Amino acid sequence: MSNGPDQSLKNRVRERAKLAVRGGLHRLDLDVSRGIFTRQVARTLESRAIDTVLDVGANVGQYALGLRRSGYAGRIISCEPLSGAYGELSRRAAKDPHWHTVNAAVGREAGETDINVAANSYSSSILGMTQAHLDGAPDSAYVAVERVEVTTVAALVEKFAVEPARTLLKIDTQGYEAEVMAGAGDLLGRFDGMQLEVSFVELYEGQQLAEQTIAVLREHGYRLQSLETGFSDPTGRLMQCDVLVVRDH
């Protein structure tokens, strides 16, 4: 695993280049990658007067930049545990007075833990990776392990004086979403919207699958607002998607 840091740096450079290309195309109003879905999220934020986004699992800031390019001007609080990705994230956020960053993972309780660093950076997870994931995305293999700080959604709400009723909680933590939700405690049903990555196949060891996650969201009063298909295996089988849910007022 000695190649881990070098490989992670190469992948961050590649991600930076892709972001620059996407940004240019977005300004030309071309549909690329997640453009349509991101604009749907931005419209939802505007229509529901949501003025804060709690961005858990920010990587190098792709999600926040997409929201900004889609017209969202409110506060963003981005959490990213990996030191390399966080460096890039914090540099981007430094140009935006309403974009705050936290160098920590988010989970069930505060403390420290080890996170597995993937070659492509964004597939990094506290959980082990399954063979199904590796078969579908060989470039996502783990190359290193990093010790990181862990905080909770409840602690972030208190630290940043977040009002859940005007907040979207976005969770993209590679199979660790249920632990992040657990760390919200009784705040979970109070966020006006939530966006999560859900899996239909176990891609990370012990993760909660889509059916159970969606059932939990329904129990807390959420309804489906929009979704985007994501990762598929080589046979075309859908393995992941992003779901956007809102409180059913």
Determine the Cα–Cα distance for residues 64 and 195; give it in Å rounded to an integer: 13
Per-residue pLDDT band for 118 (boundaries 50, 70, 90) equals very high
Average pLDDT, the chain: 89
Determine the Cα–Cα distance for residues 143 and 8; give it in Å rounded to an integer: 8
CB within 8 Å of 236: residues ≥ 6 apart: none
What is the mean pLDDT of the segment spanning 135-145? 89
Q: Which pLDDT tens digit goes with each residue over 196-214? A: 999 999 999 999 999 999 9
Determine the Cα–Cα distance for residues 226 and 220; give it in Å rounded to an integer: 17
Give the residue ranges of DSSP H helices in the chain.
4-27, 35-47, 62-69, 83-93, 131-136, 153-159, 177-182, 210-219
Specify whether the backbone of 206 is left (phi greater than 0), alpha (psi in -120 to 50) or beta.
left
Which residue type does 143 have? V
Contact 241, 52 (CB under 8 A): no
Q: Provide the pLDDT for residue 198.
A: 96
Asked if pLDDT for residue 5 goes beyond 60, the answer is no
pTM: predicted TM-score of the whole model, two decimal places: 0.85
